[in-house]
Amino acid sequence: MTPDQNLFAQQETNRRQSVWLVAGFILFFAWLGFGGDWALYLNTAGAGPQGYHHTIPALGILSTLLASGICWFSWRFGAQRVLWATGAWELIEPATPQQKQLVNVVEEMAIASGLPRPRIWIVPDPDPNAFATGITPQTANLAVTEGLLDALDRDELQGVVAHEMAHVSNYDTRLMTLLAAMVGAIALMSDGMSRFLRFGGRIGSGNGGRSGGGGSDRGGKGGGPLVLVVLVLWIISMLLAPVVSRLLAMAVSRKREYLADATGAQFTRNPAALASALEKIEAAAEPTRTITRGAAHLCIVDPAARKISEREGLVADVFASHPPIRQRIIRLRGMAYQQLKRESTASGTLPA
């Protein structure tokens, strides 16, 4: 498969996965809502004539509407919320040589990639890092930290910007922006559902106490074990949702970083510059504190302390939001050597 074919295949995969992500998100919330309705229906089925009978699936309807609203909000405003959470400010008129250089580099990489120039943002953080966000290339945003501008020279900055433009070109930013918004929403809903579960349990036990003897027998025979099974599945789903969504975001990021590195190197024709930039970023001792874990998969490197992402094997594959930086550097160095070898062969000399 040629690089262009690989790029187009990745774009189509990202579009398809974005649709599946939205559908799965809505279905998951529908399960939480209608599953809760079912559990309450079974739990109150044996209540007496004066007891509460849960017959209207209000939880399911509300949770499905809420999930649909979150998806719409994530699509329309997810990128802005990510930028707002980092404290980023938009660079409109560059006031320093570093800012002017950044604007020039972004404009150059927009031309090289054939994409519209994204809006440029500065994140007030001394740790070097960068990320891109947005649903379409026309609405893309590119953010860099103040530490990145201080740490990198022009060629290295060009490599980082090209990497982020590659994410925009591959439609990675659409999928990862949706994930960032939905991971946060699932975490909030998990906490809210745990409180509602305690509230629902009090309703069930109170009605059971008021029901008559025959009604209690019917509830115990027909609904008791089934209520327990539904509640257990509901609780497991609720507890695992934040973990699964976070792992999904990490897996999505890891699979796309290598391709973005390669695509960015094609834009600059200088893979060694991105390798050098990654080495400087790796050497930074402090984490990027302004970027939360929920948006970690958007960044060029893990904004947290990179102890896990520096490792290889099962632990890194499961818990790291990015592939090992050393592996990325090795691949980029290999690309640089192959490029130098081709140029040397064309000129009749061999690389040292």
340: number of Cβ within 10 Å? 14
pLDDT at 256: 80
Q: Per mean pLDDT, which range of 41-55, 86-100, 170-184, 195-209 is the poorest?
A: 195-209
pTM greater than 0.75 (yes/no):
no
Cβ proximity of 253 and 198 under 8 Å:
no
- Quick one: 117 exposed, middle or buried, by C-beta within 10 A (0-12, 13-18, 19+)? middle
Looking at per-residue pLDDT, the higher value among 16 and 114 belongs to: 114
Active site residue 164: yes
> How much of the chain exceeds pLDDT 90, in percent?
30
| CA nearest to 313, candidates 300, 323, 321 | 323
pLDDT at residue 184 greater than cutoff 90: no
pLDDT at residue 16 greater than cutoff 80: no
Q: How many alpha carbons lie under 13 Å from residue 115 in its C-beta half-sphere?
A: 26
What does the alpha-carbon distance between residue 237 and residue 225 come to, in Å, rounded to a whole number? 18
Confidence of residue 120 (pLDDT cuts 50, 70, 90): very high
pLDDT at 104: 97
Confidence of residue 8 (pLDDT cuts 50, 70, 90): low
Q: Which of 93, 107, 164, 310 is catalytic?
A: 164
pLDDT at 252: 61
Phi, psi of 274 (to 5 degrees): -65, -40
pLDDT at 216: 43
Distances (CA, A) of 229 to 26, 39, 165, 223: 23, 9, 48, 10
pLDDT at 204: 44
